[in-house]
């Protein structure tokens, strides 16, 4: 696998950005993680639906799946110079 850019429609890129923005706002304050009510307030079914979409529909299309194992095959590690 080469280190080629991955094409992403602008609308999908914006949707992914908004999801990451929301998750970052939640994760930025560790106190949110400790309070189940905070978790419920931040990680709603709608947020999970967006996360599921980003994982399976967007990022899932970036890498091939090994037909024998069913595992996603990521890129080869790039060595630092």
Asked if residue 4 belongs to a domain, the reply is: no
Residue 74 counted as domain residue: no
- Give domain status of residue 31, yes or no: yes
**Under 8 Å between Cβ of 52 and 23:** no
Domain-embedded: residue 26: yes
The model's confidence at residue 2, banded by pLDDT at 50, 70 and 90, is low
Domain assignment present for residue 18? The answer is: yes
Q: pLDDT per residue over 12-49, tens digit each?
A: 999 999 999 998 888 888 887 788 888 888 889 999 99
pTM over 0.75: no
- Is residue 1 assigned to a domain? no
Which three-class secondary structure state does DSSP give residue 9? coil
> Per the domain annotation, does 35 fall within a domain?
yes
Is residue 71, in this structure, part of any structural domain at all?
no
Q: Are 51 and 19 in contact (CB under 8 A)?
A: yes
Domain that holds residue 49: 10-60
The secondary structure element, H or E, covering residue 24 is: helix 10-27
How big is the chain, counted in residues? 81
Report how many domains make up the chain: 1
Q: Which of 47, 48, 58, 76 is nearest to 7 (CA)?
A: 58
């Amino acid at each position: 696998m080469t280190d080629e850019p991955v094409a992403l429609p602008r609308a999908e890129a914006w949707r992914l950005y908004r999801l990451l923005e929301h998750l970052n706002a939640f994760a930025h304050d560790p106190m949110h993680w400790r309070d189940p009510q905070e978790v419920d307030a931040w990680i709603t079914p709608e947020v999970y639906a967006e996360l599921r979409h980003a994982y399976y529909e967007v990022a899932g299309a970036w890498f091939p799946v090994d037909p024998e194992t069913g595992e996603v095959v990521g890129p080869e590690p790039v060595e630092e110079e």
